[in-house]
Chains A and B, each alone.
Chain A
């Protein structure tokens, strides 16, 4: 049973392709993550799935309804927590929830009960009656998550739910997200550019870059695909001979060069380091440092895109600035 089925979804802004033929499905009750740098097309995807933006081509079904032809049914079935706060700060937390519940046509008794429930879920009961403008960033986020849940949506979209929050608050929000996925049995799609977040929360992760889904699997399987542990050898100079011979070794699953660093995926990395060092000595390659670590999603990202997520973000930022400049001039 799928709650989300995306087929060739594409969005173009003028000649800039923000989302490029994305296809994927999300099962009911799944916690799915879209992981990618800023500007990769995550928010645009969410905006299309939540009916705020019309796709240029392709389509998607959310909770069984078409996002183009059955907008209202889709809207009834989803809750959305946007990347930027979307609260009325001149109203109290409770009023924000009440107005929301009324717009979703929830009757008075049910409304009171649900608001009480979600306020308890995000531990805002005591602060419910003060104006939102006096809330901290973390409280606003929690209120928005609560609001997204008031009308019992089948699917909840969380666009960068912990962006700009401190580490402690982030942990808290993560726990809420896990809890509500389990307790409310809601399908959750979240976007993030934090590797740990995707790793910690998501059942499956789709890595998105330049508007395309690069790879998609559970975090563990993604890391396994790299072939085990990661050994990083920092070389004085890149020697192609050495790199070639390393990549031909039987126990090496894959190699990758990044800034004079040779990144090698192997099983049982700790046992292979001596062999690699010996080889380097023989090929007269000077090694400056050696690093062994168990793979993270960062490595997966690096493996599939050839860049770290930070580098991607800076190049995206350039691309976006250029795009924005052109838009303004127009």
Chain B
């Protein structure tokens, strides 16, 4: 059914583009790093309820990694729009490759580049005073990065398949990406929020990724890691299936 070579080709394409677009990588890393630096420094001396004794930098790093996953993966999923705009999508669609392989190839490519950026953020945060407690927490956090990335690539694909061109892009950024980010508890514990807002936080996939990474990296979490993992896995599977379905049923030209 699926075409491994095509998946590999599409993955390789994402990799080559990623490695060549140095300015783009710097650009996408800049925002999370600024958030990390300014929020981290600014709030570090403030006491915030719900941090359970850890300092704010340690609390913030998993949130910022989650934010990186959210942004880079949504953009990656929506890059179908750019391929459509620049015509390359037709070249892929006319090839003897089933649609599932196309979605899988793009997703694998997107997950790889997003996770690389997440790991870069984690690495840089160590220089800013973040303490990483060994290999297992690191690997666990990578698992959560992959699940979050898959989820948001799927979501990006859903939006991209519904849109005709790139003009609605900033709408998505303002009305989907930012709310998902702020509701996820990336910047503050969701327990501090009023209960009616918490409901939204509980349906936000990013909440569980961030919580899972916090559990793995700094041992502070609202839910158990197993629960976070399970929910993230379900979200990832659901979103990528919906994304593939939307992509398949959308007009390619």
Contact A99 B86 (CB under 8 A): no
Q: For A52, list chain B residues within 8 Å (CB).
A: 90, 93-94, 252-253
Residues of A46-99 whose CB lies within 8 A of B: 47, 50-53, 72-73, 75-76, 78, 80, 82, 84-91, 95, 99
Flag the segment in A101-109, A189-197, A260-268, A309-317 that touches B: A101-109
Q: For A102, list chain B residues within 8 Å (CB).
A: 5-6, 8-9
Expressed in whole angstroms, the minimum distance between the Cβ of B84 and any Cβ of chain A is 10
Contact A86 B87 (CB under 8 A): yes
Q: For A303, list chain B residues within 8 Å (CB).
A: none
Contact A86 B90 (CB under 8 A): yes
| A253 in the interface (beta carbon within 8 A) | no
In the assembly, what is the distance between CA of A72 and CA of B1, in Å? Answer: 12
Contact A72 B96 (CB under 8 A): yes
| B26 in the interface (beta carbon within 8 A) | no
Q: For B97, list chain A residues within 8 Å (CB).
A: 103
Expressed in whole angstroms, the minimum distance between the Cβ of B249 and any Cβ of chain A is 11
Q: For B202, list chain A residues within 8 Å (CB).
A: none
In the assembly, what is the distance between CA of A82 and CA of B252, in Å? Answer: 13
Contact B13 A104 (CB under 8 A): no
Given contacts A90-B21, A99-B12, contact A82 B93 (CB under 8 A): no
In the assembly, what is the distance between CA of A90 and CA of B96, in Å? Answer: 23
Contact B13 A99 (CB under 8 A): yes
Q: For B90, list chain A residues within 8 Å (CB).
A: 52, 80, 82, 86
Expressed in whole angstroms, the minimum distance between the Cβ of B195 and any Cβ of chain A is 41
In the assembly, what is the distance between CA of A91 and CA of B12, in Å? Answer: 11
Chain B residue with Cβ nearest A73: B96
In the assembly, what is the distance between CA of A95 and CA of B6, in Å? Answer: 14
Expressed in whole angstroms, the minimum distance between the Cβ of A13 and any Cβ of chain B is 10
Q: Which of B5, B88, B95 contacts A75 (CB 8 A)?
A: B95
| A100 in the interface (beta carbon within 8 A) | yes
Q: Among A76, A89, A95, A105, which residue has the most Cβ atoms of chain B within 10 A? A: A105
Contact A103 B16 (CB under 8 A): no
Q: For A53, list chain B residues within 8 Å (CB).
A: 251, 253
Expressed in whole angstroms, the minimum distance between the Cβ of A324 and any Cβ of chain B is 11
Contact A100 B95 (CB under 8 A): yes
Q: For A147, list chain B residues within 8 Å (CB).
A: 91
Residue count of chain B within 8 Å CB distance of chain A: 27
Q: For B45, list chain A residues within 8 Å (CB).
A: none
Q: For A88, list chain B residues within 8 Å (CB).
A: 13, 17, 88
Expressed in whole angstroms, the minimum distance between the Cβ of B105 and any Cβ of chain A is 10
Residues of B1-19 whose CB lies within 8 A of A: 3, 5-6, 8-9, 12-13, 16-17
Contact A104 B96 (CB under 8 A): yes
In the assembly, what is the distance between CA of A39 and CA of B3, in Å? Answer: 36
Contact B87 A84 (CB under 8 A): yes
Contact B21 A103 (CB under 8 A): no
Q: For B89, list chain A residues within 8 Å (CB).
A: 86
Contact B87 A90 (CB under 8 A): no
Residues of B38-83 whose CB lies within 8 A of A: none
Contact B86 A89 (CB under 8 A): yes
Contact A91 B96 (CB under 8 A): no
Q: For B9, list chain A residues within 8 Å (CB).
A: 99, 102-103
Q: For A100, list chain B residues within 8 Å (CB).
A: 91, 95
Expressed in whole angstroms, the minimum distance between the Cβ of A63 and any Cβ of chain B is 12
Expressed in whole angstroms, the minimum distance between the Cβ of B98 and any Cβ of chain A is 8
Q: For B12, list chain A residues within 8 Å (CB).
A: 99
Contact B95 A85 (CB under 8 A): no
Expressed in whole angstroms, the minimum distance between the Cβ of B8 and any Cβ of chain A is 8
Chain B residue with Cβ nearest A80: B94
Contact A75 B91 (CB under 8 A): no
Expressed in whole angstroms, the minimum distance between the Cβ of A62 and any Cβ of chain B is 12
Q: Among A50, A73, A95, A99, which residue has the most Cβ atoms of chain B within 10 A? A: A99
In the assembly, what is the distance between CA of A104 and CA of B86, in Å? Answer: 22
Contact B253 A47 (CB under 8 A): yes
Contact A75 B16 (CB under 8 A): no
Contact A90 B20 (CB under 8 A): yes
Q: Which of B5, B16, B92 contacts A91 (CB 8 A)?
A: B16
Per CB-CB distance, the 8 closest pairs between chain A and chain B, nearest first, are: A86-B87, A75-B96, A86-B91, A103-B95, A76-B96, A84-B87, A102-B9, A86-B90
- Chosen A-B contacts, 25 in total, with CB atoms closer than 8 Å, are A47-B253, A50-B94, A52-B94, A52-B253, A72-B96, A72-B98, A73-B96, A82-B90, A82-B91, A86-B86, A86-B91, A87-B88, A88-B13, A88-B17, A90-B17, A90-B20, A91-B13, A91-B16, A95-B16, A99-B12, A99-B13, A102-B8, A103-B9, A103-B96, A105-B5
Additional A-B contacts beyond A86-B91, A103-B97 (12; CB < 8 A): A47-B253, A51-B94, A53-B251, A86-B87, A86-B88, A86-B90, A87-B87, A88-B13, A103-B5, A103-B6, A103-B95, A104-B96
